[in-house]
Structure 1
Amino acid sequence: MGSLEPDLRFNGVALETGVRMHYVERGPAGAEATVFIHGYADSWFSFSRVLSALSPRHRAVAVDLRGHGDSEKPMGAYSLDAFARDVVSFMDAVGVERANLAGHSMGSFIAQRVAMIAPQRVKSLTLISSAPTSKDHPLLLELKGAVDRLSDPVDRAFVAEFQATTNPVPADFMEGIISESLKIPARIWRETLHTLLLEDHSARLPEIVVPTLIAWGKQDGFFTREFQDGLRELIPASNIKTYAAGHALHWEKPAEFTRDLEAFIAEA
């Protein structure tokens, strides 16, 4: 899975929502926490390059969402609300009263939902490669055809093509990304994509009043600049930061993104 930082702590915790969640942590346990929420068909490893770049004084916690990575994979219940309730329950379980949330793509929608259902638990939001909604997105509808045909074990060539980046990343990192995605059963690929195609909470985005960083790669052909401008208009205390990167900007530009994230958190 590539080289990992020696000070990463791997753990699991039983949530009140009924799921056992795997997570990875770095930094002092008593410090203000940033909780990282990965995207569709990823895991905590999606943020491994960011965790390595973060100052050791920061408490960083990266979760495996239900059905992903080494977390439990229950039948059903893969809605944004279910994911968001897991995040709040996770914060309860590990003693995080209020956190900075950073989510990538699907994880950004989950972070948005947490800020709606438990606003008192969120200090700031960082939305990476995000949008107001992914409902009926044409590229997701195109992906659905391939995902509907998946069976277990999921084909490695499909995953490698799905996870391909716009700009080069280290080979061992990409191998780790693919290996983590292969842990996800075909049914969860389907059920989670179903959620992304159906759910739309964009009308509630003005409820989010915490400082929000919208991080976007200018080469992102999935969620284009139009989506970022939509977020900026709907979330009152938000600003856009752009990168010479694609949809996985935190993979492609981890040092630059982490520097901006640390500065944003310090000011939030």
Structure 2
Amino acid sequence: MSTQSEFGAVRAVERNDTTSIRYTVRGPETGHTWILIHGWGCRRADFTALTAALPDDHRVIAIALAGHGDSRSTREVWSMAEFARDVAAVTDAEGVARATVVGHSMGGAVAVEFARLRPAVADRVIGIDTFHYLSLYPPVAESAARRLLDEFAADFPAGVRGLVDMGSVPGTDPGFTETIFAKMAGIPESVGIRALEGILRWDMDEALAAVTTPVSTLAVRRLLNPAAVDQYRDRIGFVVHELGGHHFHLEAPEQTAELLLAELSSDRDGPNRRYS
């Protein structure tokens, strides 16, 4: 099934009886392919302006993960690996042979898992403000994970508010922050909590060791923990910038596209050379 919007063709793929994934495709099949994966509580529409800023002769596929936006699922497993299977269902359906996989926040973890699942397809993984939150990656201690999940279960909106505040930087437009909060708080609570548990259980160290795909991240300077750079500089390229907060791809889509294109053409050796 396919419908047309001003931003491309909107299509759906049925993974099984429990899961239907919707996505948008823009650009020719012969162009360089980008796979865009949103973060926790977010939407594929978050990439609309970014998609428009990428070259017209590139193919851009923006995916709504299960339980987010207009993708539906009643499944029981909400791990990063299972989300990666959502992405693989789309790339299989579209016949994608090679692609640069971009993931925002939780989407970065999904992108790495996709690179493990489809190593021949994932030419490169680029995170959007992800991989450097040491309070999430690698997996959180069981007591800390249970405490956070219990807090979300007790007051889901308050938990979402905490996430939004954590990703904000001084000077952010309050109206923008409220828009982000309203969107993220709109995720079904059951999906949100189980997906959050999937993040907390994800072992980034183990995942990175299992893939050979080059991995980098566009990291917000004021949100970047230098300890993460020290720990992962030999495996992850840190491209540090000041374009906004955690959702900077919405605040500055054209500049984000420029960073992505520069990273696409950069030397793949010596990942930490871009950190300063």
TM-score normalised by the chain length of structure 2? 0.78
Alpha-carbon spacing, 1:255–1:229, altered in 2? closer, same or farther (3 Å): farther
Match of 1:136 in 2: 140
Alpha-carbon spacing, 1:195–1:264, altered in 2? closer, same or farther (3 Å): same
Match of 1:31 in 2: 31
1:110 aligns to 2:110 (yes or no)? yes
1:147 aligns to 2:146 (yes or no)? no
Match of 1:195 in 2: 198
AA paired with 1:218? R
Q: Distance in 1 between matches of 2:199 and 2:9?
A: 31
Match of 1:97 in 2: 97
1:88 to partner: Cα distance: 1.4
Alpha-carbon spacing, 1:33–1:229, altered in 2? closer, same or farther (3 Å): farther
Gaps of 5+ in 2: 269-276
Q: Pairwise mapping of residues 93-242 of structure 1 onto structure 2 (< 5 A)? A: 93-131=93-131, 133-136=137-140, 143-150=148-155, 162-163=163-164, 165-166=168-169, 167-168=171-172, 171=175, 175=179, 177-178=180-181, 180-220=183-223, 224-233=225-234, 235=235, 238-242=236-240
AA paired with 1:15? R
1:181 to partner: Cα distance: 3.2
The answer to whether the Cα contact below 8 Å between 1:135 and 1:197 also exists between their aligned partners in 2 is yes
The answer to whether the Cα contact below 8 Å between 2:19 and 2:75 also exists between their aligned partners in 1 is no
The answer to whether the Cα contact below 8 Å between 2:18 and 2:75 also exists between their aligned partners in 1 is no
Cα deviation digits, residues 177-217 of structure 1 (max 9, x gap): 45643552110111011111122141341343233332100
Q: Pairwise mapping of residues 10-89 of structure 1 onto structure 2 (< 5 A)? A: 10-15=10-15, 19-89=19-89
AA paired with 1:168? T
Aligned residues: 254
Alpha-carbon spacing, 1:204–1:191, altered in 2? closer, same or farther (3 Å): closer
Q: RMSD of aligned C-alpha atoms?
A: 3.0
AA paired with 2:216? L
1:265 to partner: Cα distance: 2.2
Aligned-pair identity in percent equals: 24
Deviates more, 1:38-47 or 1:61-70: 38-47
Q: Distance in 2 between matches of 1:123 and 1:218?
A: 26
AA paired with 2:140? D
Alpha-carbon spacing, 1:232–1:17, altered in 2? closer, same or farther (3 Å): farther
